[in-house]
Amino acid sequence: MRTVILAVLAVTACSCAQVQAPSGGPEDTQPPQVTLTYPESAAVNVPLGDSLALCFSELVDRRAVEEAFIFSPPVDYRERSWQRDTWILRLRAPLREGITYAGLLGTGAKDRHGIALKKAWTWAFSTGDSLDDGVVTGKVIGQRFPGKGAAIYAWPWDSALPDTTQEGPPPDPLRVGQADPQGSYELAYLPRGRPLRICALYDRDADRSFDPGDDRWALLDEALIVPDTGRVMTGVDLFLAASDEPGTVAGTLADSSCLRSTAVKTLQGARARRDSLRGWLDGRIEMAPSLPGRAGGGSARAAPEAKIDRMADADAALPAEATMVLSPEDSLLVGREYVRLDSLETAARAESLLCSRRLVVRLLEGDSTLVRESQEPRFSWTDVPPGIYRLSGFRDLDDNGRPGPEEPAVSWPHPLELLPLRKLDNLLLQLSPRGALPMDTLRSTGDAPRNRK
């Protein structure tokens, strides 16, 4: 009897506090709001009463509100009545002790002008000395079955799974939430440290009953536990997907040898060194470049062995020409330097040519069935059917579109399982570091057939 009296007092307070636009005022564009509840939101040690009350900021569409409201854990009502803008719920049995109860008013609730809630409203209280305060957030992802407005359910992990073959309402939930128009959700007032099963329901006709033909469940694969040390868990996504809806495979094929390549710098340095030697030998440069092995540490100096004979014709019409005569020691050193530069340039050209060959990434079903291919180091396939695949990459040195025994190659270490609507992204395939390959390995066949699937 005491709780009924309290509920009536709540009704009286609500009626006194209501604010309504005067007759003939501006058009109503604001959704209704809950301005007062009994018990109060976030209250603890609530008496085990048998009545609840919700007071609204304006007159509402009562049927829409009743259909959009759900209480968890569920309770039975023996009577539901309205007094203007206040809804009184009389329970068939008193509330249970030590329980956090939560009410959800979904976006189907609207006022008498048809203005609906923009987001779901929640209200909770506890008959114990504390309120469950765990929160799980994420997104409901779907294409054929949109996540917009999907119902979010939480059950103890050891409870029975929702039956996806039979028509009917879901099992009694521990907690209920609703995704917003973008599919994002926040499921609040969850117990911490307890394994939970989190699911989403696409309910086409919003009747809170599962229809195997039209509706779809999204079930989290593993138990979720909101830890005692942290109140909020984020990024818990749920996928409303048919078994044949495609997913995404994306990543990068990297070649660390080419990323660290100094071939261009080496070629430039070798060519500059060769030009310096030639300039010195033909007399255009007065100071001799340092030569490995020369006495004095190889510092640049004027060549003391150089003998320059200047010859001119009778009329001195032609410019003087210089002829340098090298000592046997310098001749040997210059020859060795040219050999060294030839070796550097050959290796740098081979490395540069190798790194210019295209990188190819392949997605295979089984050992040989090509499903997708990319000829760019960054790959992203957004339309891959669900299945189990092998991912590999190689540098196509002979330009025939197929991996060969002499070509650098790498494979993902284990098969990849792609589930409907899932993303396998940020995959990194790394070709092993190596030295530059010889030039004959890099020659293109030119006429080899290519695989262009």
Is the CATH number 2.60.40.10 carried by domain 132-241?
yes
Give the tens place of pLDDT for each residue, 348-396.
Answer: 665 565 677 889 999 999 988 999 999 999 999 999 999 999 999 998 9
Sign (positive or negative) of CA dihedral 359, 363, 367, 368? negative
Helical residues (DSSP H) of 62-122, grouped into ranges:
62-68
For residue 1, the model assigns a pLDDT of 46
For residue 12, the model assigns a pLDDT of 52
For residue 447, the model assigns a pLDDT of 32
Tokens at residue 251, please? 């990543």
Give the tens place of pLDDT for each residue, 151-185.
Answer: 999 999 999 888 888 899 999 999 999 999 999 99
Q: Which CATH number fits domain 1-16+30-116: 3.40.50.300, 3.40.462.10, 2.60.40.1220, 3.40.190.10?
A: 2.60.40.1220
Identify whether the C-beta of residue 444 lies closer than 8 Å to the C-beta of residue 399: yes
Residue 428 CA to residue 417 CA, distance in Å, equals 16
Tokens 């039975």 belong to 76
Q: Is residue 69 very low, low, confident or very high in pLDDT (cuts 50, 70, 90)?
A: very high
Domains of the chain by residue range: 1-16+30-116, 132-241, 247-257+356-442, 263-311+319-355
pTM (2 d.p.): 0.69
Is it true that the peptide bond before 171 is cis, omega within 30 degrees of 0? no
Q: How far is CA 160 from CA 74, 154, 170, 172, 452, in A?
A: 17, 12, 10, 10, 49
Identify whether the C-beta of residue 377 lies closer than 8 Å to the C-beta of residue 251: no
pLDDT at 274 over 80: no
Is the CATH number 2.60.40.1930 carried by domain 247-257+356-442?
no
For residue 361, the model assigns a pLDDT of 96
Tokens 């307070």 belong to 13
For residue 402, the model assigns a pLDDT of 87
The letter for the amino acid at 350 is A
Q: What percent of the chain has pLDDT over 90?
A: 57
pLDDT at 194 over 90: yes
Give the tens place of pLDDT for each residue, 208-259.
Answer: 899 998 999 999 989 999 998 889 999 999 999 999 999 999 999 988 777 5
Mean pLDDT of 413-435: 89
**Mean pLDDT score of the chain, rounded to an integer?**
81
For residue 357, the model assigns a pLDDT of 81
Report helix, strand or coil for 182: coil
Cβ neighbors of 331 (< 8 A, separation 6 or more) are none
